[in-house]
Structure 1
Amino acid sequence: MTSKMLPPFYLIVDDPSWLARLCPVGLKFAQLRIKDKSLPDISEAIRRGLEIARRYDCILVVNDYWQQAIDAGADWVHLGQEDLDTADVPALKRAGIRIGISTHTPAELERALALEPDYVALGPIFEPRGKTVDHAPQGLDRIREWKARIPCPLVAIGGIRVEQAAEVYAAGADSICVITDVLKAADPEQRCRNWLTEAGKKP
């Protein structure tokens, strides 16, 4: 996969209703990350999310729940480092599902690259606003370091505001992933438009 196949703006949502709101704005790459729900509810949310995303030609990445993603016919799954302990990566690949993997340290990057992912995510780039994390901000230099080491697209995530998009892209990110900067905005639709405008300027 080349970086040109990975849309430059990537949004994480926690409910399919966000896709119904933001796909019409032009969102083309999103992750459905659901916590603290029953497996039947998660399976239904994945099904609904895929239905909405496909209606708008948006790539939907399922976070964590790899078996439910296979069952629903998803095309993408995102795995954190803890997910790698239990996920059946060969089964995902047999199902033709593309895989993104979170990384924070050089050791985690080596573990991820051994699985030949379709993208690697690095974070947090800046101080996160939406959740507490165990890793210090990586900064722009780490983006440059990761980009020089990986053969697949690089996704930058964590604390990134739209006003910082240009410098993050310039450092080597193929795609920027956000949550809070859109979902907690006073006008999420307009903030999403702003991101899409910045992403469109990426070289």
Structure 2
Amino acid sequence: MQKYLITSEEFYGTTPELFRSKLDAQIQKHKPSYALYRDKANPNYKELAAVFADVCRGYKGLKCFLHQDAELANKLGVSGVHLTSAQFEEIQEAKRMGLFVIISTHTQEELLRAQKLGADAVTYSPIFASPNKGEPKGVEELKRILDISYIKVFALGGIVTQEQVEMIEESKAYGFASIRYFY
């Protein structure tokens, strides 16, 4: 099962030195297959995105993504972009740039739309209780979604324990994505 590490300003900080140090340590510790630089509020987003891309280049096979910004992802030469559920119209342009596209989904309709528009993978959330993310869908709903789709699905939302990871693995999801699990 694939592991998808998602950064947060709270843990990784906003200075290049701290960000580089913490990201490098977490990649070494957890050995994710995918990593996402996600920081919606940082005015130095582009600077830290460049640091993120540089750190990722040091790990063979690690697929690295920027949040929301396909143009910057393309410019920095990372693997792809992780779009929000409000960015469906950007899937095809990101694909034309040669980027691997992951998009956030929260409903069956969104997941099937992402699949139809050619996204490479989706996150489906929230699976477990997660702060400010609404009612958890649960593992049974995840299994139902997996039965009706063929796109790669990363379970997301409230995944913080090894027991939860094992439940996701049993569901046959492609992988799991988390912020807090990778602290």
TM tier relative to shorter chain:
0.7 to 0.9
Secondary structure in structure 1 of the residue aligned to 2:117: coil
How many Å separate the matches in 2 of 1:178 and 1:159? 7
* Correspondence list, 1:44-193, <5 A: 44-57=47-60, 58-84=62-88, 87=90, 89-128=91-130, 131-133=131-133, 135-160=134-159, 161-183=161-183
Q: Which amino acid is the alignment partner of residue 112 of structure 1?
A: A
How many Å separate the matches in 2 of 1:167 and 1:37? 34
Q: TM-score, normalised by structure 2?
A: 0.84
Which residue in the other structure is 1:29 paired with?
Answer: 34
How many Å separate the matches in 2 of 1:111 and 1:152? 11
Structure 1 consecutive aligned stretches of length 4 or more whose deviation exceeds 6 Å? none
| 1:13 maps onto 2:10 in alignment | no
- How far did residue 96 of structure 1 move? 0.8
Q: How many equivalent residue pairs?
A: 170
- How far did residue 28 of structure 1 move? 3.1
CA contact (8 A) 1:143 1:172 kept: no
Q: TM-score, normalised by structure 1?
A: 0.76
Instruction: String of CA shifts for 1:134-161, please: whole Å, max 9, x gaps.
Output: x311111111111112222110011112
> Which ranges in structure 2 are unaligned for 5 or more consecutive residues?
13-18
Q: Which amino acid is the alignment partner of residue 71 of structure 2?
A: Q
How many Å separate the matches in 1 of 2:47 and 2:79? 16
Which residue in the other structure is 1:192 paired with?
Answer: none
Q: Which amino acid is the alignment partner of residue 31 of structure 1?
A: L
CA contact (8 A) 1:43 1:72 kept: no
CA contact (8 A) 2:26 2:182 kept: no
- How far did residue 170 of structure 1 move? 0.7
Identity of aligned residues (%): 25
- How far did residue 110 of structure 1 move? 2.5
Q: Which amino acid is the alignment partner of residue 120 of structure 2?
A: D
CA contact (8 A) 2:36 2:66 kept: yes
Q: Which amino acid is the alignment partner of residue 92 of structure 2?
A: P
Which residue in the other structure is 2:15 paired with?
Answer: none
